[in-house]
């Protein structure tokens, strides 16, 4: 099955074409085409992602990315054909709120044959609704113009599945996942522990009561005068210190040794698997209020203390959830799982304390938002014949895993 997948939930516009074979027990995926444009440079100016700006950028990027992905997959075939009036009108209506995209799209379908793909998968949520809508309307227009089935994908399922992939000689395989699997999903909009008890069936185990961890990273970075997105910036600072002065990260105790700044570990000792990060962010705010400009060394110290607090809370809550759920597999997914310290702490802690659990962390390319992960989820949903109705499919910013 060839799947063309579209991702526009936040600040990455991405289209991938993936050929999938196999079944739910063992599936293999070859990436035929993969095109992605990050909007980071555009959003940097504003210090965060503005939904209206993201929407405009997605509308601008989708057509060039579609061409690039099809070309890479050798599926772009020129063919001047007249578009039936009915299709023309329906497409124009679907894309009327995305200025420019409608004309470019109509021109494209009148110059090219429908691509040889079996389904169109699209992120339907969670994410920023104005951004999601661009991808959804675009996917609906493609499904209509090419007469292909449409599959709605949960973005978080994409993150879970991309962590379960093993890669060899360019082929991605998902197999032998020991269930139940616990997923720690950490991104700009999410911080949650989700249990996959049976394949592709989810239950919420814990979640943040306020800020997402990526949001805390981004806000603290902003307070420190670092550019958006803050996660990689804070990580760089903290790592610079770890490598020269204080050694590897510490987890344990209320504050790790070698820390100049003491930051709280919110909700560490309560008996839920829920998180809270707003207190940590506020602690940094107060700390900065009472000081003049931080020196470079102090910035690194603060980043280090912040990362230690985050990693400790994430690990302790995850360890609690592993115990409660008796999970055999632990998955980490979402943009924040790119973090060097979090990856290291989880790898060490699993080896030391829970060697019975298999830890699955996505490869770097699959960690941040991309369309390959949407294709993976689209494949399983298509196998289950979960075909979306274009008439009723809507963007849902809070779409949850079920
Ligand atoms: O999953 P993602 O790409 O988009 C959302 O769905 O939110 O996650 C983006 C988040 C941002 O908050 C960004 O600062 C954070 O992931 N992030 C990181 C790192 N790379 C990205 N946080 C910590 N360390 C990193 N290396
Ligand atoms: Zn994401």
Which residue has its alpha carbon closest to ligand 1 atom 22?
Answer: 231
Q: Residue 7 C-alpha to ligand 2 middle, in angstroms?
A: 10
**Which ligand has its closest atom nearest to the C-alpha of 191?**
1
Q: Which atom of ligand 1 is nearest to the CA of 212?
A: 12
Mean predicted confidence (pLDDT) in 220-242: 95
The answer on pLDDT for 250 being more than 80 is no
Mean predicted confidence (pLDDT) in 145-162: 97
**Which ligand has its closest atom nearest to the C-alpha of 311?**
1
CA 123, 124, 128, 129 torsion-angle sign: positive
Q: Residue 336 C-alpha to ligand 2 middle, in angstroms?
A: 9
For the stretch 100-109, pLDDT in tens is 899 999 999 9
Q: Residue 333 C-alpha to ligand 2 middle, in angstroms?
A: 8
Model pLDDT, residue 102: 93
Query: The pTM is what?
Result: 0.94
Whole-angstrom CA distances from 362 to 64, 165, 277 are 27, 7, 24
Model pLDDT, residue 83: 87
User: Is 130 touching ligand 1 by the criterion CB < 6 Å?
Assistant: no
Q: Which atom of ligand 1 is nearest to the CA of 215?
A: 12
Query: How sure is the predictor about 80, in pLDDT bands with cuts at 50, 70 and 90?
Result: confident
For the stretch 16-65, pLDDT in tens is 999 999 999 999 999 999 999 999 889 888 888 889 999 999 999 999 99
The answer on pLDDT for 150 being more than 80 is yes
Model pLDDT, residue 249: 54
For the stretch 100-144, pLDDT in tens is 899 999 999 999 999 999 999 999 999 999 999 999 999 999 999
CA dihedral of residues 248, 251, 257, 259 (deg, nearest 10): 80
The answer on pLDDT for 246 being more than 70 is no
Burial-class residue 1 by CB neighbours within 10 Å (0-12, 13-18, 19+): middle
Half-sphere exposure of 330 (CA within 13 A, CB side): 28
Model pLDDT, residue 99: 82
User: Is 162 touching ligand 1 by the criterion CB < 6 Å?
Assistant: no
Query: How sure is the predictor about 340, in pLDDT bands with cuts at 50, 70 and 90?
Result: very high
The answer on pLDDT for 247 being more than 80 is no
Whole-angstrom CA distances from 90 to 129, 140, 144, 152 are 22, 10, 8, 20
Tokens 């772009």 appear where? 76
Tokens standing for 81?
A: 């054909």
User: Is 126 touching ligand 1 by the criterion CB < 6 Å?
Assistant: no
Model pLDDT, residue 252: 42
Which residue has its alpha carbon closest to ligand 1 atom 14?
Answer: 231
Average pLDDT, the chain: 94
Model pLDDT, residue 98: 87
User: Is 163 touching ligand 1 by the criterion CB < 6 Å?
Assistant: no
Between 215 and 80, the higher pLDDT residue: 215
The answer on pLDDT for 315 being more than 50 is yes
User: Is 187 touching ligand 1 by the criterion CB < 6 Å?
Assistant: yes
User: Is 335 touching ligand 1 by the criterion CB < 6 Å?
Assistant: yes
Model pLDDT, residue 255: 47
User: Is 125 touching ligand 1 by the criterion CB < 6 Å?
Assistant: no
């Amino acid at each position: 099955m060839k799947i063309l997948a579209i991702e526009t939930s936040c600040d990455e516009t991405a289209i991938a074409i993936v050929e999938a074979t196999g079944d739910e027990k063992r599936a293999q995926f070859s990436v035929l085409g993969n095109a992605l444009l990050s909007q980071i440079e555009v959003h940097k100016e504003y210090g965060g992602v503005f939904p209206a700006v993201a929407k405009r950028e997605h509308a601008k990027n989708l057509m060039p990315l579609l061409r690039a992905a099809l070309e890479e997959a050798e599926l772009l075939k020129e063919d001047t054909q007249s578009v039936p009036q009915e299709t023309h009108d329906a497409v124009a209506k679907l894309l009327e709120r995305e200025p420019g995209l409608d004309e470019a799209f109509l021109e494209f379908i009148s110059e090219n044959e429908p691509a040889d793909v079996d389904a169109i998968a699209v992120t339907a949520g969670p994410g920023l609704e104005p951004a999601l809508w661009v991808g959804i309307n675009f996917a609906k227009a493609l499904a209509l113009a090419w007469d292909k089935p449409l599959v709605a994908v949960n973005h978080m399922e994409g993150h879970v599945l991309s962590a379960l992939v093993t890669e060899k000689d360019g082929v991605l395989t998902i197999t032998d996942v020991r269930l139940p699997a616990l997923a720690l999903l950490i991104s700009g909009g999410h911080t949650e522990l989700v249990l996959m008890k049976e394949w592709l069936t989810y239950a919420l185990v814990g979640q943040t009561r306020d800020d997402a961890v990526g949001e805390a990273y981004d806000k603290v970075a902003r307070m420190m005068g670092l550019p958006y997105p803050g996660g990689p910036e804070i990580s760089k600072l903290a790592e610079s210190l770890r490598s020269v002065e204080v050694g590897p990260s510490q987890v344990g105790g209320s504050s790790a040794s070698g820390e100049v700044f003491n930051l709280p570990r919110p909700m560490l000792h309560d008996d839920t698997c829920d998180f809270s990060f707003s207190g940590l962010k506020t602690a940094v705010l107060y700390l900065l209020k009472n000081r003049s400009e931080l020196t470079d060394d102090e910035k690194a110290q603060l980043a280090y203390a912040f990362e230690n607090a985050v990693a400790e809370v994430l690990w302790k809550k995850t360890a609690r959830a592993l115990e409660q759920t008796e999970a055999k597999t632990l998955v980490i997914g979402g943009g924040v799982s790119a973090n060097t310290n979090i990856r290291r702490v989880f790898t060490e802690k699993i080896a030391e304390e829970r060697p019975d659990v298999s830890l699955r962390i996505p490869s770097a390319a699959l960690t941040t938002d991309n369309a390959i992960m949407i294709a993976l989820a689209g494949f399983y949903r298509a196998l289950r014949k979960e075909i979306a109705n274009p008439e009723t499919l809507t963007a849902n910013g809070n779409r949850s895993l079920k």
